[in-house]
Amino acid sequence: MDVQLYNVGPRIPEELNFLETLSDNIWWCWHPMAIELFVRINPNLWRELGGNAKLFLRTVPQSRLEELARDPVYRRHLRVVQADFERQVQKDKETKKRDIAYFSLEFGIHESVPIFSGGLGVLAGDHLKAASDLSLPLVAVGLLYRQGYFTQVLDRNGWQIEHYPVSEIHNLPLVRARDKEGNGITISIPLIDRQLFAAVWVLWVGNVPLVLLDTEIPENPPDLREVSWRLYGGDKRMRLHQELLLGIGGFKALLAMGYEPSVCHMNEGHAGFLSLARISHLVNDFGYDPNVALETVWRSNVFTTHTPVPAGNEVFDIGLLRPYLNVFAAEAHLDVNRVIRWGIPINDRNHASEMSMTVFGLRLADYSNGVSKLHGEVAREMWKNLWPQRSVSEIPIKHITNGVHIASWVSSRLWGLYERYLTPKWAHNPPLDQLVEGINTLPDEELWMAHELCRQSLVRRARKLIQSNVRYLSGHGKEADLAKNALSPDILTIGFARRFATYKRGTLLLRNPDRLLALLKDTVRPVQFIFAGKAHPADDAGKKLIQELVQFAESHGVQDRLVFLENYDIGMARSLTQGVDVWLNTPRRPQEASGTSGMKAAINGVINCSILDGWWAEAYNGENGWAIEGNDYYTEDEDRDNYESQLLFNLLENEIIPCFYERSNGDLPVRWIKRMKASIVTGLGKFSSERMVEEYRRFFYEPAEASYRKLTVDDAACAKALVAEKERLVEAFDGGKLYIERPTVDGNNLTDMHVGDKFKVSTQVYLAGLRPDEVEVEAYYGTVNVHNEIIESGAEKMDMVEELPDNNYRFSCEIVCQAAGRFGLTARIKAAGHDWDNSVPGFMCWPR
């Protein structure tokens, strides 16, 4: 039956019209007074609908709205929120120039918008919120998933089952993107012998537009409508369709909307194909030569990798990929084999069967980074083969440590406390000295009371969730009573919540069952554990970990002290990171890239106990939490897991539990509160998304934008000059024509040097037709390891001192011994200046 669809909702009284405006922008979700505006209408209904503002307004009885329209106190509250909204969300947002485009396969903004799976998406959501707070000229691009990730339930045996409820997009804060004529925008991309169409929607995150592509439209056949159904669902072909749609279709959507960003940021390799769309745009719309377009694109691209495990990086079989890339390469006037080689490390090109999206992203981005200091080191080691002539310390992958959006994650109780005692800019990356001064003035009694209320709220929520669990519903009165009384609002509560992958070791505690049971059954100093998290639908090993936890609790009768909460999402994450006392994190180092959940806990005064991995490796200072320090001498996972499990129990039994229950000063755990305050200082002071986005702006976005402007002015004259220079450099460096001799030391005995001594180094080079000003010759030196490999390097520029026949030259410099130790010395030629510092593989020549 062919029917015409329409929606009917209550009529919003004129006095409350702003409520509709507010519900159309997810800005409300990180502003407590805006949230309270909805809660005051009907608290129970708000909770029941999961904080979905659009659905909530369509469900509220007409009589209640009319009652509020006559309430002067409510109207005054509404006017205050409206004034904040209009001040922070720019009125000209629709026409504002957007210089930066941020592409991600998922965005976790609020639990009511289910287009995310976990940490990567939540990080992207926090990035957009911080960009809005900072009025950054940014537009974001993602996919509009009709079924999102999945809803998790556990069966009677504790095994994860996935359900995929369909989102009703008319209940989401979405508007159709429109062109200059006001027509709804639909884009298409070619998939071999047919077209994939996508409707373009916009979800406003403050003053940042999030552009979302939707394939559930009549123009597509049934199989292609599924492209935007599920996040990380389907086979490799489906994933390829999604990533082609995100990168190429997403860039087409921006152009159709009138945006032409000068900087594009790829949040992981999923978005890598956007480079082909950018090249094609410059070639076909501006008449650039493909090499000039390539030079412009890579110098204005940003790439962030989040995956420190080689197997976790996206790859596609070349046989699957080639027919698709044939079309896109032809559009950009590029050879398809050249495009495929961009995604293959140099030493694998003769036998590779797969193309790596991480390699593709790194090769086509002048600015690349990991997401913590340690992850930057790991990433440089992982991808050093892309720059085979450089030491690991010179691999051009930087790090910008992740941060969390403070206003989205701080509890309302602590928000009020911080507003009273801290600097007015406490949520916006304040100076550390001001923050420390304010935290020290927080009364212990008020901080502890606020935290205890958060713990009580968490226990109430957890009990409600447990009572709806099939494992309890399927039992008798005993199980029902257990569900009602599970957990205690007054005892030490330890939380562990994250994706259940094997390397995160969610069952590390189970390696010492007797010690764990002793903690759980202790009535003098009781302890309880709350676990949550989803395993990937295809990860049976991860599902097994969840089942082991559930079955352990049931088999030992400790379900009231060790619980697993189903369907971990942003809402549950807020409750957990605000309400537990200790946040536990136990990955195998160094496989945790960042670990932003620990940051969310820290800003709420929750104390971290974690492996020194990801962010905690740079955040831990001995006063703000506990470190499970591990032992790198254990190379087998089994040995390491057993050892670190013992360390964890030692911390729990000897430090954490005694500290929590030490109440020498009345009822307050004074030493514990001191650690809480140190944790808050760490979180608010160093790990906000505002600090993170400011670093992206300063180190990446602004220089990339300046580069794009320089490259495209005067009919791309600068880019054309760079392409011509590159051709000369390739012929000389990659052709193997350059030559440099091993350096010689003039008049010194290097076996008997002391700090402060100087020595002169000389070398002879053959420049193969290049001019001396086109290269830099350097003495390269540094401390060495047991294999005599230079590990901490330095370079001293050498000056040309003699021109010799046949394009040969002699260079020389002086080196000062500045520290004691064992050192290595050599010399190298590299391209002059900084234009080629980050190029792959880079232009460098060493003595043969």
Q: Is residue 551 very low, low, confident or very high in pLDDT (cuts 50, 70, 90)?
A: very high
State the pLDDT at residue 9.
73
CATH class of the domain at 423-480+505-687: alpha beta
Mean pLDDT, range 340-356, rounded to an integer: 88
pLDDT at 473 (0 to 100): 60
The DSSP element (H or E) to which 510 belongs, if any, is none
Q: Kindly state the helix (H) or strand (E) to which residue 52 belongs, with its residue range.
A: none
Return d(Cα 369, Cα 371) in angstroms, integer: 7
Asked if residue 595 has pLDDT above 90, the reply is: yes
Whether 47 has a pLDDT exceeding 70, the answer reads: yes
What are the residue ranges spanned by the domains of the chain? 14-88, 100-402+694-717, 423-480+505-687, 736-845
Query: Alpha carbon 512 to chain centroid distance?
Result: 33
Higher-confidence residue: 389 or 451?
Answer: 451
CB count within 10 Å of CB 63 equals 9
**392: burial class by Cβ within 10 Å (0-12, 13-18, 19+)?**
middle
- Say if CB 707 and CB 366 are below 8 A apart: yes
Q: What are 3's two structure tokens?
A: 């029917």
Would you state the pLDDT for residue 348? 79
The structure tokens listed for 576 are 């957990």
| Alpha-carbon span 539 to 536, nearest angstrom | 5
Q: Is 783 in contact with 821 (CB distance < 8 Å)?
A: yes
Q: Residue 104: pLDDT band by 50, 70, 90 thresholds?
A: very high
Angle formed by the axes of helices 444-467 and 477-485, to 10°?
Answer: 160
- The CA-CA-CA angle for residues 347, 350, 353, to 5°, reads 100
465-474, 697-706, 738-747, 800-809, range with the lowest pLDDT? 465-474
> Under a CB-based contact definition with an 8 Å cutoff, are residues 254 and 241 in contact?
no
**DSSP tag of 503:** G
The answer to whether the Cα torsion of 356, 360, 366, 367 is positive or negative is negative
Among 83-92, 269-278, 326-335, whose mean pLDDT is lowest? Answer: 83-92
Which helix (H) or strand (E) segment holds residue 704: the answer is helix 702-729
* CATH H-level, domain 100-402+694-717: superfamily: Glycogen Phosphorylase B; (3.40.50.2000)
Using a pLDDT cut of 70, give the percent of the chain over it.
97
Q: What is the overall mean pLDDT for the chain?
A: 93
> Above 90 in pLDDT, residue 539?
yes
pLDDT of 666 above 90: no
Average pLDDT over residues 409-424: 95
What's the average model confidence in pLDDT over 792-805? 92
Amino acid present at 392: V
Say if residue 484's pLDDT is above 90: no
What is the DSSP-derived secondary structure letter of residue 833? S
- The b-or-e profile of 395-418 (16+ CB within 10 A means b, else e) is bbbbbbbbbbbbbbbbbebbbebb
Residues paired with residue 209 on neighbouring β-strands, in sequence order: 204
Higher-confidence residue of 821 and 273: namely 273
Work out the pLDDT band at 6, boundaries 50, 70, 90.
Answer: confident
Using the CB atoms, write b or e for 612-640: b if 16+ within 10 Å: bbbbbbebbeeebbbbbebeeeeeeeeeb
Neighbouring-strand partners of residue 197: 188
The answer, yes or no, to whether residue 391 has pLDDT greater than 90, is: no
pLDDT band at residue 710 under the 50/70/90 scheme: very high
Q: Which residues pair with 426 in a beta bridge?
A: none
Section 438-454 average pLDDT: 96
Q: Is the pLDDT of residue 94 over 60?
A: no
Confidence of residue 91 (pLDDT cuts 50, 70, 90): low
Domain pair 100-402+694-717 / 423-480+505-687, same fold: yes
pLDDT of residue 237 exceeding 80: yes
Per-residue pLDDT tens for 490-511?
999 999 999 999 999 999 999 9
- The count of other CB atoms within 10 Å of the CB of residue 290 is 18
Q: What is the CATH number of domain 736-845?
A: 2.20.130
**pLDDT score, position 476:** 57
What's the pLDDT band for 787 if we cut at 50, 70, 90? confident
The whole-number pLDDT of residue 477 equals 62
Residues in the chain: 848
